[in-house]
Amino acid sequence: MKQTRFIPIETCGLQLRESADGQPSRTVVGRPIVFGVRSVNLTPWSDTRVVYEILEPGCITQELINRSDVVYNNNHSNDIANMIGRCRNGKGTLTLALREQYVESECDYPNTTVANDTLEQIRLGNVYGMSFAFEDDWQDTENGVSYERTNETVDGKEVWLRHVKKIVALYDVANVTHPAYEQTSVGTREQSDRINEAIEEQLKREQNAEEEAQRRACGGKGKNDKRDDDSDDLNDKPDPDDKDEKPDTDDKGETDEEREAREKAEQEARELEEQEQRFREQQAMRLRHRAQRLRTEQELESLIF
């Protein structure tokens, strides 16, 4: 899924490069991608947690940059009029260079209306934020994206870190005029919900692993105890000819294998029910957003006409 991230103003470094001959410069440099820095809160709608994202060094490679088609624009607009530069297969009017702590952008602004206007706004200091659009390998929970719960809290909410270890696609870099607005878009809300779902799934996996470890520990202790009992009384051995001997069972008359099979089936049923519930909630949320958008459009039309 395509995502956008705003780079904190103090780290993006958007500025005009000074020219050697003293003439007005048209070269703009910046850091649209910065490693090891916490992003803004990615889950502003959550009542239980705050999630910051950290791009890990190594999540982007020069090879990825060289095979990408990255557009430089304003506010991630797909309108051709808002295109300022482009880096396609490592070449073009936009240059992206991988550094140790960030990706540096450098672009010679063209002589277009939008570029000239943007250049003047940068000179005046009215535009100073940057953002980039990308896709990470969020399904790979080991080498793509992982989540870490910290000991911090913000307004009583847990603080989590989303570590991005592998980015698989770069789409564009952009000058951003109103970065706070990006955090309230419907698309960002959907990403926020997906992040919360991923954390819940990770918590479930951790809980299952802990329960499995405890179960094995208890089972191992039982075997050790039995071996100790056998060593105390070597003569007390089961008769190999006793055909009436039955496997050990618990209070419910289940063997270990039967209990494990039942617990696994119950766990799968619970997970399926939870997935169906999340799907219904997502569908309901999308319908609400769609209805709200239609009402807004109708109100705008009534004002215009």
Q: How far apart are CA 137 and CA 38, in angstroms?
A: 19
Q: What percent of the chain has pLDDT over 70?
A: 74
Alpha-carbon Rg for the chain, nearest whole angstrom, is 29
* 163 strand-pairing partners: 54, 146
Residue 237's pLDDT is 54
- Token pair for 228: 């100790």
Output the pLDDT for position 182. Answer: 45
Apex 59 CA angle, 53 and 60, nearest 5: 120
Structure-token pair, residue 145: 């994206």
| Residues 37/54, Cβ–Cβ less than 8 Å | yes
54 close to 200: Cβ distance less than 8 angstroms: no
Dihedrals phi, psi of 37, to nearest 5 degrees: -115, 135
Angstrom distance (rounded) from CA 105 to CA 30? 5
Q: What is the pLDDT of residue 266?
A: 82
Using a 10 angstrom Cβ sphere, with 0-12 exposed, 13-18 middle and 19 or more buried, the burial of residue 16 is middle
Based on the number of CB atoms within 10 Å of its own CB, is 259 exposed (0-12), middle (13-18) or buried (19 or more)?
middle
Question: Would you state the pLDDT for residue 187?
Answer: 44
297 exposed, middle or buried (CB, 10 Å; 0-12, 13-18, 19+)?
Answer: exposed
* Dihedrals phi, psi of 302, to nearest 5 degrees: -65, -35
* Degrees, nearest 5: CA angle 73-186-275: 125
Q: How far is CA 257 from the centre of its chain?
A: 38
- Whole-number Å distance between alpha carbons of 44 and 221: 46
The domain ranges of the chain are 3-183
pLDDT of residue 301: 59
> CA–CA separation, 289 vs 287, rounded Å?
5
Q: What is the pLDDT along the chain (305 residues), one digit of tens a residue?
A: 777 777 766 677 788 887 666 677 899 999 999 999 888 888 888 889 999 999 999 999 999 999 999 999 998 898 999 999 999 998 999 999 999 999 999 999 999 999 999 999 998 988 888 889 999 988 888 899 999 999 999 999 999 999 999 999 999 999 988 654 444 344 456 777 778 888 888 888 888 888 888 888 887 554 444 444 555 554 555 555 555 555 566 666 678 788 888 888 788 778 777 777 777 776 767 677 666 666 666 666 565 55
d(CA 303, CA 237): 92
